Amino acid sequence: MTMQQQQPMPQADPSAVEAFKERFDAVHANVSRAIMGKPGEIQLALTCMLAEGHLLVDDVPGTGKTTLAKAIAASLGSSFHRIQFTPDLLPTDVTGSMIYNAKDGDFTFHPGGVFANVVLADEINRASPKTQSALLEVMEERQVTVDAVERPVPRPFVVIATQNPVEFDGTYHLPEAQIDRFMMRMSMGYPSHEAEVESIMSRLAGHRPEELTPAITAETFEWMIGVARMVHVAETLQQYAVTVAAATRRMDELRLGVSPRGSLALVRASQAWAAAKGRTFVTADDMRELAPFVFGHRMLLSPEAELQGLSSADLVRHTLDAVPLPEIRI
């Protein structure tokens, strides 16, 4: 079937999107009880997860990266596993392994840490490249292959990975192939004075993020992912996402531009972003707001650009300004 012969995409029902927004706001408010003063960062993280994308949180120690992951998992009513990445962590600790059962005289599969709806890969850059690569298949295919047998992980499935960009002792650089599998990368940043004081008071009172009461059920979480996938993306906007991504591949300042996976990620994230705002359709502004978080980590600067003090965020903004906005017909 050619592109012209494909059936039009089904569109989200306005009442379903309205219900999506209500539940999104409820989850956002619940997570905000553990992460004070970071509404924008919480919205980005929830958007990524409801687009069923993986999130890389890249920031200095103590800014709430792990707390964010725990609070979101608790608020979504989903199963949660934390994997602490260390230099001696083995790939089988992540994916699982076959263990001999003396009683039955046979091998039994024991699942690893990735068998949960939400997986926190804490300090992912502290594990060896071999162990990091254990996540490649499951992040893309939602399954692991152990002993030549494919084993699906629970759905929905999202990975939240954290890394410390300023401490390099005992760390390993994430390869581009793995970074590309993260739909979005964001930073938490330091809290305001008031938010930091409120956070201290909450911890002194014994409140822990993993103890939050779920705002929705795991079934509702899965339903919301389905609603986001139904949000309408005009063909001109699909072309716009590809045009912006392709423009980065021709930039002299970059050794590596945005991959085709990146343009698809921008469309998917924009669908969830629009639904969270109560809309049944995506706008160009949605894509422009999300592009720095979806495209930035997929752009590898040339040495000359780094010497000039440029950043991927600068180049994303430059590309968005250079590509004309599309004409949208809803």
Alpha carbons 270 and 240: distance in angstroms, whole number: 12
- 197 in the same domain as 164: yes
pLDDT tens digits, 233-252: 999 999 999 999 999 999 88
Q: How many domains does the chain have?
A: 2
Residue 62 counted as domain residue: yes
CATH code, domain with 325: 1.10.8.80
- 173 in the same domain as 78: yes
> Global pTM?
0.89
- 238 in the same domain as 204: no
Write out the two tokens for 288. Answer: 């422009």
Average pLDDT over residues 190-215: 81
pLDDT tens digits, 310-320: 888 889 999 99
Residue 7 counted as domain residue: no
- Examine the pLDDT at 5 and tell me if it is beyond 60: no
Give a three-class secondary structure readout of 239-296.
Answer: HHHHHHHHHHCCCCCEEECCCHHHHHHHHHHHHHHHHHCCCCECCHHHHHHHHHHHHH
Domain boundary among 162, 188, 216: 216
Residue 16 counted as domain residue: no
Average pLDDT over residues 188-200: 82
Alpha carbons 162 and 85: distance in angstroms, whole number: 10
pLDDT given at position 60: 77
Alpha carbons 83 and 118: distance in angstroms, whole number: 11
DSSP calls for 126-144: GS-HHHHTHHHHHHHHSEE
- 273 in the same domain as 192: no
Alpha carbons 2 and 268: distance in angstroms, whole number: 22
Angle at 84 between CA 190 and CA 95, to 5 degrees: 130
Q: What proportion of the chain, given as a percentage, has pLDDT over 70?
A: 94
Local confidence band at 195 (pLDDT 50, 70, 90 cut-offs): confident
User: Residue 133, Cβ neighbours under 10 Å: how many?
Assistant: 15
Domain boundary among 216, 239, 256: 216
Residue 37 counted as domain residue: yes
Contact call for residues 117 and 76 (beta carbons, < 8 A): yes
How far from the centroid of its chain's Cα atoms is residue 8's Cα? 28
- Examine the pLDDT at 222 and tell me if it is beyond 50: yes
- Reference 75, options 194, 277, 217; nearest CA is 217
- 124 in the same domain as 51: yes
- 242 in the same domain as 208: no
Domain that holds residue 235: 231-330
Residue 17 counted as domain residue: no
Local confidence band at 1 (pLDDT 50, 70, 90 cut-offs): very low
- 84 in the same domain as 158: yes
- The span from the first CA to the last CA of the chain, in angstroms, equals 25
Please give the residue that has the higher pLDDT: either 190 or 185. Answer: 185
Q: What is the pairing mode between strands 55-58 and 80-84?
A: unpaired
Residue 19 counted as domain residue: no
Domain boundary among 161, 187, 216: 216
Q: Is the dihedral of CA 133, 253, 266, 171 positive or negative?
A: positive
- Examine the pLDDT at 65 and tell me if it is beyond 70: yes
Average pLDDT over residues 25-36: 93
Residue 266 counted as domain residue: yes
Average pLDDT over residues 110-135: 90
pLDDT tens digits, 249-295: 998 888 889 999 999 999 999 999 999 999 999 999 999 999 999 99
Alpha carbons 155 and 226: distance in angstroms, whole number: 12
- 183 in the same domain as 54: yes
- Distance set, CA 15 to CA 21, 22, 90, 217 (Å): 10, 11, 47, 19
| Cβ-Cβ contacts under 8 Å for 1 (sequence gap 6 or more) | none
- 241 in the same domain as 198: no
- 184 in the same domain as 49: yes
How far from the centroid of its chain's Cα atoms is residue 110's Cα? 27
- 189 in the same domain as 242: no
Alpha carbons 144 and 18: distance in angstroms, whole number: 36
In degrees to the nearest 10, what's the CA dihedral of 165, 168, 173, 178? -40
- 67 in the same domain as 117: yes
